[in-house]
Amino acid sequence: MSKLKIAVIGAGSSYTAEIIEKLAEFREKLPAGEIALMDVDETRLSIIEGYCKRAVKHLGYDVKITATTDRARAVDGADFIDVQLRVGGNKARVNDEKIPMKYGLIGQETTGAGGMMKAFRTIPVLLGLADDVEKYSPDGWIINYTNPTGLVTEAVTKYKKTKIAGLCSGGYFPRQHVANLLNVPGESVYYDYVGLNHLNFAYNFTVDGRALTDAEFDKMAEKFDAIGVDLIKTLRLIPIGYLGYYFNTAKNFKHMSEAPTTRGENVQELEKSIFAEYADETLIGKPPSLTKRGGGGYSDVAIGVMDAIHNNANRWIVVNVPNQGILKFLPDDAVIEAPCIVNNAGIRPIAVKDMPNTVWGLISAVKNYEQLAVEAAVKGDKDLAMLALLAHPLVRDYDVVKPLLHDLLEANKPYLPQFNR
């Protein structure tokens, strides 16, 4: 049996260590002959390459590690193309945070106006990657964790033929919270799940087919206080933490505006420590500072999808996929985040039961923004970009949108060739 080739695009990410560690754990189920690391940042790529070679040797993982700045070379013949890009780096992220805040708006890298700019920088790159995959590895799967993953996945599914799994670890956390709360295996926990990436709700929890009691749900709400315990108990839905930007907007803006530095600035400083640790030739495990980085859990989901596809394992996994009639109030081509059955045939979303009528309006409004933003990103259309911001519940005000969009486009000019032809 021929061994797999797995490409990691954006391998200079601090998260690459988690992918390597998980692939080593799954070496029997996912027998890889080569892991091809690719990044445009030669310095970070070289540091991660050195770490990965030490790590696989320490783990007794017999796999070839290669590194290149040539995307086509990395993709060529790959069975899975793991994508974890940050176009413009954390420097661009800081602009996404600071510029909206100047106008009294939430400044965040995947939500609101800042999230739109991240999509504008990222979507053209992912479409270019999809072209490479179609040309050099037509049967390969893009396993995407690049944010905003919902918008990125929608762009690829609308404009390209490439197979893609749009992933986020957010859909994995409710399962883990219930498993930890009740001391049961995660595989025994299931739930309905509705919404979009970074705007979703889990409900109808069961453990081995038994519904959670009201008391168990309330206990989980107290442990999972993303938007306020009382509101969670009233909704009877477990929200992702990002919902705080919508349900507690003033409080979150106050917290952001009073903080001495943004999250992006904090990450820039933290990554100096992380990469200093990666560069240490005695390091064979994950850098100690990586625990402070946040955003973990991706490797579990990504490798789970690869395993399900390669081994026809029929796994239940939350994935970003085209709606296909699952949510009746959204277009079929609108990408949603939903529980899916993943196997060798692909990714099939599961029908939503008991759709909560308390949140479909918010989901619809944000999806309206997302569809406009995707089209604007592909076409480089400033008018569509303005309409997207007007549709977003966290922006909306036309008198703010005009100068805000100007400032955002100017700050991102080096990364937005589609808007500057």
- Please list the active-site residues: 242
The contacts of residue 292 (CB under 8 Å, 6+ apart) are 270
Question: Radius of gyration over alpha carbons of the chain, in Å?
Answer: 21
Give the DSSP letter of residue 213. P
Q: Burial-class residue 247 by CB neighbours within 10 Å (0-12, 13-18, 19+).
A: middle
**Residues 83/129, Cβ–Cβ less than 8 Å:** yes
DSSP E strand boundaries for 271-352: 315-322, 335-343, 346-349
**Residues 406/400, Cβ–Cβ less than 8 Å:** no
Q: H or E stretch including 35?
A: strand 32-38
Query: Distance between CA 101 and CA 43 in Å, rounded?
Result: 32
One-letter amino acid at 134 equals E
Q: H or E stretch including 144?
A: strand 141-144
Give the DSSP letter of residue 224. S
3-state secondary structure of 7: strand
SS (H, E, C) 329-384: CCCCCCEEEEEEEEECCEEEECCCCCCCCCCHHHHHHHHHHHHHHHHHHHHCCHHH
Query: Distance between CA 86 and CA 44 in Å, rounded?
Result: 13
One-letter amino acid at 276 equals A
Taking the mean position of all CA atoms in its chain, how far away is CA 175? 17
Query: Distance between CA 42 and CA 25 in Å, rounded?
Result: 28
Query: Distance between CA 13 and CA 10 in Å, rounded?
Result: 6
